[in-house]
Amino acid sequence: MRNTFKTVNNGTTPNGRRRKDEQLKRTDLHTCLAGSSCTFEPSYLLGASTTGQAAVAKHALRTTGMMGVPVLCVVVLASISQSLSLQIQKPLYESQSSQENGSLDGSSCDSRTEQQVFTNSHNFSVNIRMPGVVPAGSDTYLCKAFTVPTTEDAYIVDFIPHASMDTVHHMILFGCQTPVSTSNYWDCGSAQGTCEDEASIMYAWARNAPPTKLPKDVGFKVGKKSGMSYFVLQVHYGDASAFRDHHKDCSGLTLKMTSKPQPFIAGIYLLMSVDTVILPGKRVTNADIACDYMSYPIYPFAFRTHTHHLGKVVSGYRIRDGKWTLIGRQSPQLPQAFYPANKEVNVNYGDTIAARCVFTGEGRTSKTYIGGTSADEMCNFYIMYYMDSKHAVPYMNCMETGSEELFQHIPAEANTPIAVSPGQMMHMAHSKDNADNTLSVEPKKAELVLDQDYHLEQVSAWPQSRLQLGQVSGLALDSDYNLVIFHRGDHRWGADTFSSLYRYQQRYLGPIQQSTILVVDPAKGNILKASGRNMFYLPHGITTDKENNYWVTDVALHQVLKVSSDGRDRILLALGEAFTPGSDSNHFCQPTDVAVDTKTGNIFVSDGYCNSRILKFTADGDYLAEFGAGSSDRRRRVPFNIPHSLVYLPDKQEVCVADRENGRIQCFIAETGEFVKEIKKVEFGGEVFAITYSPVGDGLIFAVNGQSQSHSVPLEGFVINYSTEDILATFSPNTKDFRMPHDIVETSDGSVFVADVASNSVFKFTTEKFHRSVKKAGIEVQELQEMQTIIQTKLRPDHNASKTAAMPEKQTVAKQPQSYEEPEEKEKKKSAAKLNREAGVLSVIITTLLLVPLLIVVTVGLFICWRRNRRYEVKSEPSSVGGILGKIRGKAVGSLNLGNFFASHKGYSRQGFDQLSTEGSDQERNDEDSSDSENEEYSALPPPQSSS
Distance CA 315, CA 380 (A): 10
- Ligand-binding annotation for 59, yes or no, is no
The set of residues, in sequence order, having a beta carbon less than 8 Å from that of 177 and lying 6+ positions away, is: 195, 197, 227, 228, 229, 230
- Ligand-binding annotation for 455, yes or no, is no
Catalytic-residue membership of 1: no
Question: Which H or E run contains 112?
Answer: helix 106-112
Paired residues of 329 in beta bridges = 315
Distance CA 648, CA 218 (A): 34
SS (H, E, C) 767-780: EECCCCEEECCCCC
Alpha helices for 550-636 (secondary structure H): none
- Ligand-binding annotation for 558, yes or no, is no
Catalytic-residue membership of 169: yes
Paired residues of 604 in beta bridges = 595, 616
Distance CA 406, CA 826 (A): 52
Alpha helices for 293-431 (secondary structure H): 404-407, 422-427
- Ligand-binding annotation for 905, yes or no, is no
- Cα 618 to chain centroid distance, Å, stands at 29
SS (H, E, C) 242-262: HHCCCCEECCEEEEEEECCCC
DSSP-based three-state secondary structure for 429: helix
Catalytic-residue membership of 236: yes
- Ligand-binding annotation for 491, yes or no, is no
Other Cβ atoms less than 10 A from the Cβ of 281: the count is 11
**Active-site entry in 99, 272, 308, 333:** 308
- Ligand-binding annotation for 742, yes or no, is yes
Q: Where are any strands of DSSP class E within 373-413? A: 380-388, 395-398
C-beta separation of 205 from 431 below 8 A: no
**Active-site entry in 236, 491, 558, 587:** 236
Catalytic-residue membership of 378: yes
Question: Which H or E run contains 512?
Answer: none
Catalytic-residue membership of 170: yes
**Active-site entry in 234, 333, 514, 788:** 234
- Ligand-binding annotation for 306, yes or no, is yes
- Ligand-binding annotation for 540, yes or no, is yes
**Active-site entry in 171, 202, 378, 428:** 378
- Ligand-binding annotation for 409, yes or no, is no
Distance CA 363, CA 361 (A): 6
Q: Where are any strands of DSSP class E within 680-805? A: 688-694, 700-705, 717-721, 727-731, 741-746, 752-756, 761-768, 773-775
Distance CA 780, CA 88 (A): 41
The set of residues, in sequence order, having a beta carbon less than 8 Å from that of 256 and lying 6+ positions away, is: 123, 125, 156, 157, 158, 159, 160
The set of residues, in sequence order, having a beta carbon less than 8 Å from that of 834 and lying 6+ positions away, is: none
**Active-site entry in 99, 130, 162, 170:** 170
**Active-site entry in 53, 272, 306, 807:** 306
Catalytic-residue membership of 308: yes
Distances (CA, A) of 585 to 307, 527, 590: 53, 38, 14
Catalytic-residue membership of 391: no
- Ligand-binding annotation for 771, yes or no, is no
The one-character DSSP state at 389 is: G
Distance CA 678, CA 657 (A): 10
- Ligand-binding annotation for 169, yes or no, is yes
- Residues placed in the known binding site for Cu(2+): 169-170, 236, 306, 308, 378
Residues that are catalytic: 169-170, 234, 236, 306, 308, 378
- Residues placed in the known binding site for Ca(2+): 475, 743
- Residues placed in the known binding site: 169-170, 236, 306, 308, 378, 475, 488, 540, 609, 644, 660, 742-743
